[in-house]
Structure 1
Amino acid sequence: RLESLSALLGGSIAVDSPGEGQPVEMNTKFKLYPDLKTAGRGISIKIAVPDDNKISATGAPIMYRGIEIGQITDLSLSEGRENVVASAAIQPAFSDFLNSGSKFVLEEAELSLTGMKNIANLVTGNFLTLVPGEGEKARRFTAIRKNEFSQEQEKSVAIRLTSNNSFGLDVGTQLLYKGIAVGSIIHVGLVDGVGTGSDKHEVFMDALIDNEYAHLIKSHNRFFVTGSATAELTESGLSVTVPPAKQLLTGSISFVSEGKSEARTDYQLFQSKSLAEIAKFNQSGSKTLSLFASELPSISKGSPLLYRNLQVGSISDFQLADGGVRIKVTIENRYTHLLNKHTVFWNRSGVEVDASLSGISIKAAPVKTLIQGGIAFD
């Protein structure tokens, strides 16, 4: 940056006059700073910033298209202590950007197994970017995070995935369609569900889908966890599927795009592709069934209800009845279409041994049912 030619030759002193200042008396003393940056002066503004912003209280830059146009001079709490407020000074040359329609975006460091973004922020702290807008002159603003800004600019579509487990997935997990990244998870948390006790809470994952892929989000989409190695025993042998290293390290979520073009805001996240395929209906809640047996199988409360070795429900209770035991089974509504008047239930606990003259046939249940017991149906 070069000053005028006369200032370069002879030197000069610059001064700015804040709007809220008061007239001074003759011979009032002021401090002379070596430059505008050190003085921390300019047009004074206030910016409410998100909690956990990791912005340096002294000297964090405010950027516009890669150019520093101001600095944070102080961080404090608002009068009612509801928000964190940053005091900042903007260079007078950019005063025309300070309008009611302008946005301040929090630029944060992202460090994960898949890559790095704004890595210098880990040392220097986060900073703000100014996105100019239209409107009346303003001096108070609210900063937003980058994902919120993208959503406001219609660069992405927000949806929510719910499940009874996070499956180890966290913020930054990619959403894939046919192996192509079309969005990512921006927030993970707990929300009240439909159950009781320890099952009352569900895990939710807020996701943003890039706007160019928004047409893939339809009314009957089914989302499922991918990114882990799988093995399946088939007639031709053992088939092992290993995803790319990037997905193996971080996990991912894939989905099937089906239904009408009217997207919903809430979708169920399934643990596997198999469970997603048999879940014909995206219905929340569950249905209770009553089974009768002459004696109690090797089960307990919480034992799985299996459909072709896939858990679609659980044993909720059992009690003695005339001539036997009555067992209450809970099945999720999205799997109730598997039941009909010909449905048969059987004990799926332990190891089945069939000995005959032709030899011995041993059939073991899944490991979980070996420990907890279980009931299967078809």
Structure 2
Amino acid sequence: MSDLPTAKTRPASNWSAIWILPLIALVIGGWLGWQAYRESGVDIEVRFQSGEGIVVNKTEVVYKGMPVGKVKNLVLDAKGSNTGVIATIEMNKAAESQLRTNTRFWLVKPSVSLAGITGLETLVSGNYIAVSPGDGEQTRRFKALAEAPPLSDNEPGLHLTLKADRLGSLNRDSPVFYKQIQVGRVKSYRLAEDQGIVELKVFIAPAYANLVRKHTRFWNASGISIDANLSGVKVRSESLASIVAGGIAFATPEHRKDSPPTDTNLPFRLYEDFDAAQAGIKVKVTLSDFEGLQAGRTPVMYKGIQVGSLKTLKVDPDLSSATAELTLDPLAEDYLVAGTQFWVVKPSISLAGITGLEALVKGNYIAIRPGDKGALPQREFEARAKAPPLDLKAPGLHLVLFSDSLGSLEVGSPILYRQVKVGTVQSYQFSKTHKRLLIGVHIEKEYANLVNGSTRFWNASGITLSGGLSGIQIKSESLQSLMAGGIAFDTPTPDVPLKRRVPRFKLHLDQEAANRSGVTVMIKVERADGLKAGTPIRFRGLDIGKVEDVRLSDDLESVMLKARITEVPDRIARVGTQFWVVKPALGIVKTANLETLVTGQYLEVLPAVKNQGPQRNFVALAEAPDRTEREAGLALVLSAARRGSIKPGVPVTYREITVGKVTGYELGQTADRVLIHILIEPRYASLVRGGSRFWNSSGFGMDFGLFKGATVRTESLETLIEGGIAFATPDGEKMGNPALPKQTFALFDKAEDEWLQWAPKIQIGK
């Protein structure tokens, strides 16, 4: 037996350590495969209209500046009806979730246009495909856009919609300006569904979003706006960029600065230009006179300032009128109410001057006069045929003159104060009863204080001619009133208040009619020969009144004169006053009242001495009254066998000097004598004494002798023709006492030689 251990046996194993290495390799390979699968891209197909600018294995897909894919293959599209290319693009796995139906692809390449330069970076890196993620279902097939899509509405900032009648020179990416600073751009544009307007999408950067308010106005700022007239040329442009590429500008009106923020869901109107944006209120006006008006060019004016324009003009079917659509300044909104007036202004040349001169250059225009601010709003009006009457809202004083006739006055005729123009005639029209004219007058504000309750107005038109033997007087207020008519006035009394808001005055025929006041009287005369309206009434050579009207009496037996006494009427229009007609008197030696041959007859008045009460109706005397009792002097009576050629007015002379006159004559009580009344002037009364002798100095006397020849005697040539009385007073005791009033003397036929020798020394009065 052996001591060696017994060996133990185990079955042989099929596993070998060498298999570890392949297993590790398999795990690593699987992991690498998984990694490759996980990091591998997603293949998609994008159809382009053209493969120009796309390079396989070079052209990348870029999103926000980061590459997210690359073109792997490019083939022609054999299936489509339109020729194109299909690019197979391997997109990053991370972008797989964004590959949906509304995801958009487009090729970016350098572009130079009036709006600017885009894709400039591709000059270095080459063209690339841009992508904009969208929503929808997942897909692997896409159609590329022909151009970059508009800015997304999700971009921070303000996104607005503008509506315009036409696009003009606007384009995508055209700038949007605020005070000539670019604050946004045009995103896109398209025709509206009804194809009547253009809708533009606009983006405003976040920093400027608060500038757009509810009442903000947008206008097309493209190109250059030129406005030329006689006053000069006005050129307007928003910026050089807007001239080249077009642009939009916006602003909020001054009176709308408190406007609330805008609602982005509500579109804005895009006006054609700045002026249209300013005048955004539409008004319809029916015109009966539309000659010379042009849509788009005819302005709407208020006191020389343009407040709107004529946008459209449509003639009615009957051709008798037209409907005008006006666009007015928003500032006028509160005044477009009931009572607002429109009318067409044309150039007019008349004696009053040239009106509407500016219309000769820019054509006829439409004028507006706003109504009262508190009236009901209105947007449709009917234009007047001519300028409206008095504008009570114009600064200054407005008044109405009433007259029986217009004369040569017309709208625009001047209102003169001391030959200075202080206002104009604004209108004229008949009164309700058509019996007189109402003339509307405007006095400028700085001259309004010249008119008060005592003011008198008169027609200063044309020339006033007055003449007589002393000469001819020509009077005219001014050259302008001579040609075009005019009204003058004066204010004799200060501080007389006006009684009405719109005062009313009478327009007198002339200055004399305006100045006359006093009392109206009626004078009855037998005949009206030479008497007419304007015939003067005189006292001692001075005009104290004038005849205003001449007419027959009711019984046709006499003529009634309506006269106005303007000087001392209280002394004239009373009981005892006498009137008579002064006519021309012609004689060989003496000629009286010769001026009446030219100027016509006039009335003379002899006021009553005592005040016995007022009187308004008078009967004119047939001839001048006997004023002996009224005149100062020594009244005497001469007794003669016959009157001879003695008559009232013939002179009474002393030493061939007139010292008195004959005042009348009458038959004596027994009719056997003629009593002649004379009046000696007061200063010569002392020449008549008790011994004075009176003789008839009329005619001439002749003494003839065979040896001494013939002697002819006469007092004077005047007494030779018209008659006269002379007297002489003796010397010494024969002189007698001074004559007494009413003392009677004998009137001898001729003088004795002794009387002619008397030459007493008698002191005469002063």
Partner of 1:203: 437
Q: Which runs of 5+ in 2 are unaligned?
A: 1-112, 117-160, 166-190, 199-221, 223-270, 538-542, 606-766
Separation in 1, partners of 2:374, 2:164:
24
Is 2:603 the counterpart of 1:340? no
Higher mean displacement: 268-277 or 240-249: 240-249
Separation in 1, partners of 2:578, 2:290:
57
Higher mean displacement: 177-186 or 164-173: 164-173
User: How many equivalent residue pairs?
Assistant: 326
Q: Secondary structure at the match of 1:100?
A: helix
Higher mean displacement: 115-124 or 263-272: 115-124
Q: TM-score, normalised by structure 2?
A: 0.35
Q: Which runs of 5+ in 1 are unaligned?
A: 1-6, 18-24, 194-199, 282-286
Partner of 2:621: none
Percent of residue pairs bearing the same amino acid type: 14
Separation in 2, partners of 1:333, 1:160:
28
The 8 Å contact of residues 99 and 134 in structure 1, kept in 2 or not, is answered as no
Q: Secondary structure at the match of 2:513?
A: helix
Partner of 1:22: none
Q: TM-score, normalised by structure 1?
A: 0.63
Partner of 1:247: 481
For 1:158, give the aligned amino acid.
Answer: H
Separation in 2, partners of 1:55, 1:126:
8
For 1:210, give the aligned amino acid.
Answer: E
**RMSD over equivalenced CA pairs, Å:** 5.1
The structure in which a higher percent of residues are strand is 1
Partner of 1:73: 312
Is 2:392 the counterpart of 1:151? yes
Partner of 1:362: 594
The 8 Å contact of residues 161 and 266 in structure 1, kept in 2 or not, is answered as yes
- Structure 1 pair 238–333 and aligned structure 2 pair: CA distance change class (3 A): closer
Partner of 2:417: 177
Task: List aligned pairs for 1:13-162, cutoff 5 A.
Answer: 15-16=163-164, 27-30=193-196, 36=272, 43=280, 45-46=282-283, 56=293, 58-59=295-296, 60-63=298-301, 69-74=308-313, 86-90=324-328, 94=329, 96-101=330-335, 108=345, 109=347, 111-113=349-351, 115-121=353-359, 124-128=363-367, 140=379, 151-153=392-394, 155-162=395-402
For 1:307, give the aligned amino acid.
Answer: P
Q: For 1:163, which of 384, 403, 408 is the aligned residue?
A: 403
The 8 Å contact of residues 98 and 132 in structure 1, kept in 2 or not, is answered as no
Q: Relative contact order (C-alpha < 8 Å, sep 6+): which is higher?
A: 1
The 8 Å contact of residues 157 and 211 in structure 1, kept in 2 or not, is answered as yes
The 8 Å contact of residues 63 and 130 in structure 1, kept in 2 or not, is answered as no
Separation in 1, partners of 2:194, 2:595:
95
Q: Secondary structure at the match of 1:304?
A: coil
Once the two structures are superposed, what CA deviation does each residue of 1:58-80 show, in whole Å capped at 9, x if it has no partner?
44323588557432523789xxx
Once the two structures are superposed, what CA deviation does each residue of 1:154-180 show, in whole Å capped at 9, x if it has no partner?
x12221222233232221111111121
Once the two structures are superposed, what CA deviation does each residue of 1:108-136 show, in whole Å capped at 9, x if it has no partner?
34534464343242572222369899889
Is 2:263 the counterpart of 1:263? no
Question: What's the CA shift for 1:211?
Answer: 1.9
Q: Secondary structure at the match of 2:436?
A: strand
Q: For 1:304, which of 533, 552, 560 is the aligned residue?
A: 533
Partner of 1:315: 550
For 2:533, give the aligned amino acid.
Answer: P
Separation in 2, partners of 1:174, 1:26:
59
Separation in 1, partners of 2:375, 2:490:
46
Separation in 2, partners of 1:135, 1:274:
46
- Structure 1 pair 116–361 and aligned structure 2 pair: CA distance change class (3 A): closer
Q: Secondary structure at the match of 2:431?
A: strand
Question: What's the CA shift for 1:214?
Answer: 1.4
For 1:201, give the aligned amino acid.
Answer: K
Question: What's the CA shift for 1:213?
Answer: 1.4
Once the two structures are superposed, what CA deviation does each residue of 1:296-355 show, in whole Å capped at 9, x if it has no partner?
44389xx5363348864212332548xxx344444579999586025544457xx73332
Partner of 2:584: 352
Partner of 1:275: 513
Separation in 1, partners of 2:335, 2:509:
43
